[in-house]
């Protein structure tokens, strides 16, 4: 099991650039990439970028820069509800672009989510974190929704297979694949070996006021079907008077999710993919994420890996 850096905060002095999952500006990246490499990461997760960037060759140039720094792009991420009546076309184009980018850069996996637009923006459940309901979650999905999503996903799975790629479906709040049961149901309907799960336990944990399932149950169920793995940890603060939970992101060794159990389950299932440290989004993220990487390596060592 190798380590991928799924960065979430790219601020790095003197760059103040703080776009989700985006590295510092090019002129500030050499020192940044050197640090990330020194922490023991084998590569990074990157966004697919837009069509203009692809056409201009910027995405390929970025991939070469990463490879030269010893941190190749291992995963390209996309996202969006591919079967949605209004947002689906854009999501499908984004996923197809991610497959092309991943193949061009030599990545091995495309990670995607199926987060659905809120039906009542600003209303109860629109935040999709820590509330009693969740707009877009699988509880509200019909079998027809699963059928339509599986049909599109099978198409993209075959497209990815032709390029030698896996697709991972990130278990994500506010989506049709938001727990182990719904994710496995979708994967069974698709029926392709190269389409698997990304068992992001943090997304299950912070989805509702009370988690739908334990982290242990989820990881044991999803480990044999996993093709990529986002790892983040959280501390839960529950306010029963408000029927609401809030969550603070912390390094992997310091939260409520037992990653020793989770890593053990993935190893036992024979998982050979990447463990992606989904980085901190506040504070000195590089210190936090180095600490997470060191913790993962210590657990793997204890397991004889």
* pLDDT tens for each residue of 101-146: 999 999 999 999 999 999 999 999 999 999 999 999 999 999 999 9
CA contacts within 13 A on the Cβ side of 111: 28
pLDDT single digits (tens) 216-256: 999 999 999 999 999 999 999 999 999 999 999 999 999 99
Q: How is residue 282 written in tokens?
A: 């506040």
CATH architecture of 2-302: Alpha-Beta Barrel (3.20)
| Portion of the chain with pLDDT greater than 70, in percent | 100
E strands of 98-221, at which residues? 109-112, 166-170, 195-198
Helices vs. strands in the chain: H and E counts, helices first: 10, 10
Confidence band for 17, pLDDT divided at 50, 70 and 90? confident
Provide the mean pLDDT of the chain.
96
* Mean of pLDDT values over 40-56: 87
Question: Cα(131)–Cα(138) distance, rounded to whole angstroms?
Answer: 15
* pLDDT score of 94: 96
Q: Count CB-CB contacts under 10 A for residue 201.
A: 29
Helix (H, G, I), strand (E, B) or coil at 247: strand
Burial 111-135 (b: 16+ CB within 10 A, else e): bbbbbbebeeeeeebbebbbbeebb
β-partners of residue 75 are 45, 109
Q: What integer pLDDT is reported at residue 295 of this predicted model?
A: 98
- How many other C-beta atoms can be found within 10 angstroms of the C-beta atom of residue 21? 17
């Amino acid at each position: 099991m190798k380590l991928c850096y799924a960065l979430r905060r790219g601020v790095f002095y003197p760059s103040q650039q703080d776009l989700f999952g985006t590295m510092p500006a090019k002129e500030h990246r050499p020192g940044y990439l050197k640090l990330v490499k020194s922490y023991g990461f084998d590569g990074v997760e990157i966004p697919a970028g837009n069509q203009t960037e692809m056409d201009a060759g910027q995405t390929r140039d970025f991939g070469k820069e990463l490879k030269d720094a010893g941190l190749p792009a291992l995963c390209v991420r996309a996202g969006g509800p591919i079967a949605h009546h209004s947002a689906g076309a854009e999501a499908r184009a984004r996923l197809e672009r991610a497959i092309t980018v991943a193949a061009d850069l030599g990545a091995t996996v495309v990670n995607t989510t199926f987060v659905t637009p809120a039906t009542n923006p600003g209303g109860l459940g629109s935040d999709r974190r820590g509330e009693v309901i969740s707009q877009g979650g699988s509880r509200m999905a019909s079998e027809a929704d699963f059928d339509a999503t599986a049909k599109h996903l099978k198409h993209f799975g075959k497209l990815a297979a032709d390029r030698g790629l896996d697709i991972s479906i990130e278990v994500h709040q506010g989506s049709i694949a938001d727990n182990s049961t719904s994710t496995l149901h979708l994967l069974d309907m698709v029926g392709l070996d190269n389409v698997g799960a990304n068992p992001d336990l943090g997304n299950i944990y912070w989805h509702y006021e009370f988690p739908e399932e334990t982290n242990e149950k989820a990881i044991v169920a999803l480990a044999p079907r996993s093709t990529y793995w986002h790892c983040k940890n959280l501390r839960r603060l529950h306010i029963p008077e408000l029927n609401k939970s809030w969550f603070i992101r912390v390094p992997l060794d310091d939260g409520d999710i037992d990653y020793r159990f989770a890593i053990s389950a993935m190893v036992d299932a024979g998982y050979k993919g990447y463990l992606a440290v989904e980085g901190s989004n506040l504070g000195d993220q590089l210190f936090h994420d180095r600490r997470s990487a060191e913790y993962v390596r210590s657990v793997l060592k204890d397991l004889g890996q």
